[in-house]
A = this chain, B = another copy of it.
Amino acid sequence: MIELSQKLMSEFAEGVILPPNDAKQFTYDIYGFSDTPCLFLARPTSTEEVSKLLKFCHAKAIPLVPQGGNTNVCRMAIPTGTTQAGILSLARMNRIEGLDVEAATVTVQAGCVIQTVQDAALDEGLLFAPDWGARGSATVGGAVSTNGGGLNVLRYGTTREQVLGLEVVLPDGRVWNGLRSLTKDNSGYDLKHLFIGAEGSLGVITRIVFRLHSAPTFHRSMMVALSDLTRLTDLMGLARRKAGRLLSAVELLPSLGMKMAFNRYPALKRPFETDAPWCVLIRLSDTGEVENTLLELFEEGLVHGIFTDGVLAQSVAQERNLWEIREQMMPHQYFPDREMLKWDVSVPVSRIANFISQADDLVRSNCPGAIPYAVSHLGDGNVHYSAFANPAEPGFAEMKQRTLQLIDELVWSFGGSVVAEHGVGSLFIDRIRGQKPGVEYELQQALKRLLDPANLMNPGKLISG
């Protein structure tokens, strides 16, 4: 295998190919997990080099694992299993090629870091919507390949909805230049959607045209105590009716998380004294004032008994404090001697409350002593559901497996997905089978075979052969 990397080194410019020993760090994921050594690390600097590499690997049937910022949590961007593969890092293709202010579009190389694009856009009063915690290291190519969700989905949609055009190197090394920046183009099948969210399994995304948005300059939040979880749908209806497109965040916070945050971070200010089982944090954003709309929303929610208490941020400091509460909810720190079972699921927005209460019942009856926990991006139906289970309970291993399976099935019975925004990777490749009708899985497999018949692109991720 050293021979292979040496052969490749002789084919490419200096620094493009590294041998396995110099590439070990690239085989570890964000949690420090590593499974399989790599054959080599390729760090091309242009589409032409990516194409040349894929042609080489196609001819010799060498699998490749594309990698961006390597911040994925589903073992998507590292070699896994028994297949020996090279790693293709896009990190050196990191330039913004052009920002068209009037058209509000930007053309970017795949290895560019999300925050770099955000900053460049903001300099022009524009907003690049993909945004989540790893913004400082995750790349735009990874964002597109995983259809990243994050903080702005309610207002702007997922990463998919930001993409106007793509350049993709196909598994045989041919380059498809689909770098369009058109909103309206009904001239054939919209191929870009094949590659968005494909986790690198159908080709390598090298360049992207994104749409940008007017950056809102006014933000105002409020936190309210929900009178009862069953009033969630009333709250969402009210928020949508009163605030509509001004809504930029609607976050559901559990009492346990609030308490833990105040205990651990005494600098946080309690927004109100009422100790409600559930609180909701709502933010409106716009290019003009949003205060009056927020006030109307607040008053109407009180009048209709949806909230029992609440507070509107009156200053930037108060605004920051409300969001700090949300950010300081760190469930993995709550019970160090418990095992945290975790789900990143989505269900229809109108069924969130129902889902949480049924999931809680299910956890309590199948996992004695476990403490259920949920936070939710209410606006897009995304529930980060957890249970703090006691590994000292007799029969814990079976109990855990059963609970995982039962919650998955509950999600499906709600028409939901057990893979909401983090992707499938190699971690969920088996678990996802139960979610798809046979026809759909077969169609997916047929698409994979059509584009990558030798299964060379990120094998063992997203879809089984």
A interface residues with partner B (beta carbon < 8 Å) = 100-105, 125, 146-147, 149, 153, 157-158, 160-161, 170, 174-178, 180-191, 193-194, 196-198, 202, 213-214, 216, 233-234, 236-237, 240-246, 286-288, 292-293, 346-351, 380-382, 415-424, 428, 432, 435-437, 439-441, 443-444, 446-448, 450, 462-463
A318 to chain B, nearest CB (A): 23
Number of copies: 2
CB-based closest 4 A-B pairs: A214-B244, A193-B193, A102-B350, A103-B350
Specify which of B105, B197, B432 is in contact with A348 (CB 8 Å cutoff): B105
A31 to B200, CA, bound (A): 46
A253 to chain B, nearest CB (A): 19
Collect the chain B residues with CB atoms within 8 Å of residue A287's CB. Answer: 241-246, 293
Q: Are A437 and B197 in contact (CB under 8 A)?
A: no
Q: Are A443 and B176 in contact (CB under 8 A)?
A: yes
Collect the chain B residues with CB atoms within 8 Å of residue A146's CB. Answer: 186
Q: Provided the pairs A176-B439, A450-B446 are in contact, do residues A184 and B102 lie with their beta carbons within 8 angstroms? A: no
* A-B contacts besides A186-B417, A186-B419, 11 pairs, CB < 8 Å: A103-B351, A149-B184, A157-B161, A183-B382, A184-B381, A184-B421, A186-B197, A187-B418, A189-B198, A189-B444, A193-B194
Q: Are A421 and B214 in contact (CB under 8 A)?
A: no
A143 to B202, CA, bound (A): 29
In the assembled complex, 19 residue pairs joining A and B whose CB atoms fall closer than 8 Å, in A order, are A101-B350, A103-B349, A105-B348, A146-B186, A157-B183, A161-B161, A178-B440, A180-B415, A184-B346, A185-B417, A186-B197, A186-B420, A186-B422, A187-B419, A188-B444, A189-B202, A190-B197, A194-B194, A450-B450
Q: Are A437 and B176 in contact (CB under 8 A)?
A: yes
* A237 to chain B: closest residue by CB: B102
